[in-house]
Chain A
Amino acid sequence: MGPISSLPGFPEWLDLTIAFIIGIGFGYALEQAGFSSSRKLVGMFYGYDTTVIKVFFTAAIVALVGSQFLSYFGLLNMKNVFVNEYYITASIVGGVIMGAGFIMGGFCPGTGLSALSIGKIDALFFFVGGMLGAFLFAETFPYIQGIANGSFKGPVKINEVLGLSPGVFTLLLIVAAIAMFWIAEMAEKKFARPDITNQL
């Protein structure tokens, strides 16, 4: 039963090999989606290209539904899958800073790496800026611990907070995603701009 890496005696080198292979799949999917282009990514926030929301929610739903099926058939023990811990202040403040970085830089870290891999020079600057950001965080950490560690809630799950089963919550999320995809398709028509594909 998965996760495979939690089986007794599972060697570290194999887990790291898996990390490399997963990374290849991740980078391949991001680049194929067009996320190696900043002008395509930010199209999300001006309505002319909504690829971001389509890819993002489709991926989240595939993983959500897939993991629940694997768990239902006894193939995956969800108790051994990492659940992100919730620090209210840090999630919100960090998220707002990331949003500003997104619209200024045109990438998020993963998409920036995929753009860097095909030779985008702006992505190289984004990456070097990102390294400086991680360095500044480490150096300023003693002063911002209050924000970083404040209002800690543990690995809480959204369906439990709402009193729903994982399946019902997922179904509601799928309905919401379909509505968003529909709005996204409409937005692309409303805010359409001359095709820039050849400039990317």
Chain B
Amino acid sequence: MKKKYMNPYLAGTLLGLVLLLAMYLSGRGLGASGGIKYCVVSIVGNVSPQHAESSNYYSKYFEGGMSPLKNWLPIEVLGIIVGGFLSGALSKRLKFKLEKSPNISNRKRLIFAFSGGLLFVYGAQLARGCTSGAALSGMAVLSVAGFVTMAAIFGSAFLFAWFFRKNWI
């Protein structure tokens, strides 16, 4: 029998303490989309070193023979997967599963999941952070960017929710 989720306010306190620890130990907040970017940069560097070298965008991540994966964010992202797995194991939630509303097909759910991921990470590169790196960590250091990004993400999701309601409810 899988265990119930943690009380939201308690889980929020735990998340806040992890963020505080990141600030105290490394002088930075949490991140997720940044780690995905470093993975992509590393793949591009391996597949087409010429392309990575000639582009201003990629080349800065390879300066002085650096490896893009040997950075704080991609290693933290690896930790997220380990931590999520541990939590799932302890609460008996490890299972291969396609989660969706019973009203839509598997195919539709996967197409939307893929497109949503594409848009989310594209937007996160533009805003220099996602819900973790820009909104949550940004708010925790009182940055205007954090509050504006948070309001834009949640405001936009509330507006678009009406159009996609049949996917979820």
Please report which residues of chain A, range 96-124, place their CB below 8 angstroms from some CB of chain B when the two chains form the complex.
96-123
Task: Decide: A129 and B78 in contact? CB cutoff 8 A.
Answer: no
Known contacts A59-B136, A82-B28, A157-B143, A134 near B15 by CB under 8 Å: no
Task: Decide: B152 and A22 in contact? CB cutoff 8 A.
Answer: no
Residue of A with least CB distance to B73? A19
Q: Note all chain A residues with C-beta closer than 8 A to B12.
A: 33, 54-59, 62
Task: Decide: A122 and B109 in contact? CB cutoff 8 A.
Answer: yes
Task: Decide: A54 and B152 in contact? CB cutoff 8 A.
Answer: no
Task: Decide: A64 and B142 in contact? CB cutoff 8 A.
Answer: yes
| Min distance, Cβ B12 to any Cβ of chain A, angstroms | 3
Cβ 8 A contact of B11, one of A32, A75, A86, A135: A32
Please report which residues of chain B, range 146-169, place their CB below 8 angstroms from some CB of chain A when the two chains form the complex.
146-161, 164-165, 167-169
Please report which residues of chain A, range 143-200, place their CB below 8 angstroms from some CB of chain B when the two chains form the complex.
144, 147-148, 153, 155-159, 161, 166, 169, 193, 197, 199-200
What sequence of 0s and 1s flags, for each residue 34-72 of chain A, a beta carbon within 8 Å of any chain B beta carbon?
A: 101111101011101001001111111111101100100
| Min distance, Cβ A100 to any Cβ of chain B, angstroms | 5
Q: Note all chain A residues with C-beta closer than 8 A to B72.
A: 15-16, 19
Q: Note all chain B residues with C-beta closer than 8 A to A135.
A: 40, 44
Q: How many A-B residue pairs have CB under 8 A?
A: 523
Cβ 8 A contact of A62, one of B20, B24, B114, B169: B20
Q: Note all chain B residues with C-beta closer than 8 A to A94.
A: 123-128, 134, 149, 152
Decide yes or no whether B49 CB sits under 8 A from chain A. Answer: no
Q: Note all chain A residues with C-beta closer than 8 A to B5.
A: 32-34, 40, 51
* Residue total for B at the interface (Cβ-Cβ under 8 A): 125
Task: Decide: A26 and B80 in contact? CB cutoff 8 A.
Answer: yes
Distance between Cα atoms of A169 and B152 in the complex (Å): 20
Task: Decide: B145 and A133 in contact? CB cutoff 8 A.
Answer: no
Distance between Cα atoms of A45 and B158 in the complex (Å): 5
Residue of A with least CB distance to B143? A84
Q: Note all chain B residues with C-beta closer than 8 A to A126.
A: 113-114, 116-117, 120
Q: Note all chain B residues with C-beta closer than 8 A to A64.
A: 139-140, 142
Distance between Cα atoms of A28 and B80 in the complex (Å): 7
Distance between Cα atoms of A42 and B139 in the complex (Å): 22
| Min distance, Cβ A67 to any Cβ of chain B, angstroms | 6
Task: Decide: B142 and A169 in contact? CB cutoff 8 A.
Answer: yes
Cβ 8 A contact of A33, one of B8, B57, B118, B160: B8
Task: Decide: B151 and A95 in contact? CB cutoff 8 A.
Answer: yes
Known contacts A3-B25, A59-B13, A156-B144, A21 near B152 by CB under 8 Å: no
Cβ contacts A to B, 22 pairs, < 8 Å: A16-B75, A28-B14, A34-B5, A39-B100, A59-B19, A62-B12, A84-B137, A88-B148, A95-B127, A95-B156, A96-B155, A100-B160, A111-B131, A114-B83, A118-B85, A119-B97, A126-B113, A131-B121, A134-B121, A138-B57, A138-B125, A158-B146
Nearest 7 Cβ contacts at the A-B interface = A105-B116, A23-B79, A95-B152, A99-B156, A62-B16, A58-B12, A94-B127
Known: A26-B79, A58-B11. 14 other contacts (CB 8 A): A30-B83, A30-B84, A33-B5, A54-B12, A81-B23, A84-B145, A98-B149, A103-B160, A118-B87, A118-B94, A120-B98, A122-B98, A131-B121, A133-B123
